[in-house]
Amino acid sequence: MVKEHELEPKLVTVFERAVREYARLFGLSEWDIAVSSKKDDSGDIASVALIYTARAANIAIDTGFDADEEEVRKSALHEILHLVLSDYREIVDSLLAEDDAVRRRRAEAAEHSIINRVMSAMEQGK
């Protein structure tokens, strides 16, 4: 029996397959993408950690969430879109001073706005 607020193991597999599927769809073959699952207290169902220069990413799903298959797939798409936008984000980050927290938050908000628009467009195109 699955405990309350615990992601079903089969959905971890769905997440990994969705990450791979979206990586192919967006032509991210130059990226070394690792997929993992872990219990996390960040409040996000999934996260991505990037190493721009190495074109490496770890995309993780939080097993502490009680999500359905659609939410898991959307989370995989969201994290892959961070990779799609990584060249843009790398340039923005390089232009900002390390202590420029306000502009960094604005850049992150703009990135999420783009991601949400792409996800909405893809959902309508189904």
Q: And the tokens for 50?
A: 């990037």
Mean pLDDT, residues 93-121: 88
Residue 100 has pLDDT above 50, yes or no: yes
Q: What is the mean pLDDT of the chain?
A: 89
For 68, list phi and psi in degrees, rounded to 5: -100, 175
Pairing of strands 56-62, 46-51: antiparallel
What is each CA distance from 101 to 68, 80, 90, 115, 126, in whole angstroms?
A: 35, 24, 15, 21, 38
In this prediction, residue 124 carries a pLDDT of: 86
List, for residues 36-94, the tens digit of each pLDDT value. 998 887 778 999 999 988 999 999 999 888 889 999 999 999 999 999 999 998 888 88
- Share above pLDDT 70 across residues of the chain, in percent, rounded to a whole number: 95
Q: Which of 47, 48, 40, 37 is nearest to 8 (CA)?
A: 37
Question: How confident is residue 1, by pLDDT bands cut at 50, 70 and 90?
Answer: very low
Q: Say yes or no: domain 9-124 is CATH 3.30.2010.
A: yes
Residue 35, sorted as left (phi over 0), alpha (psi -120 to 50) or beta, turns out to be beta
List, for residues 2-46, the tens digit of each pLDDT value. 445 678 889 999 999 999 999 999 999 999 999 999 888 777 899
| Domain boundaries of the chain, sorted by first residue | 9-124
What is the arrangement of strands in the sheet containing 32-38, beginning at the earlier edge strand? 32-38, 56-62, 46-51
Residue 49, SS3 per DSSP:
strand
Contact 9, 66 (CB under 8 A): no
Q: Cα 95 vs. chain centroid, distance in angstroms?
A: 23
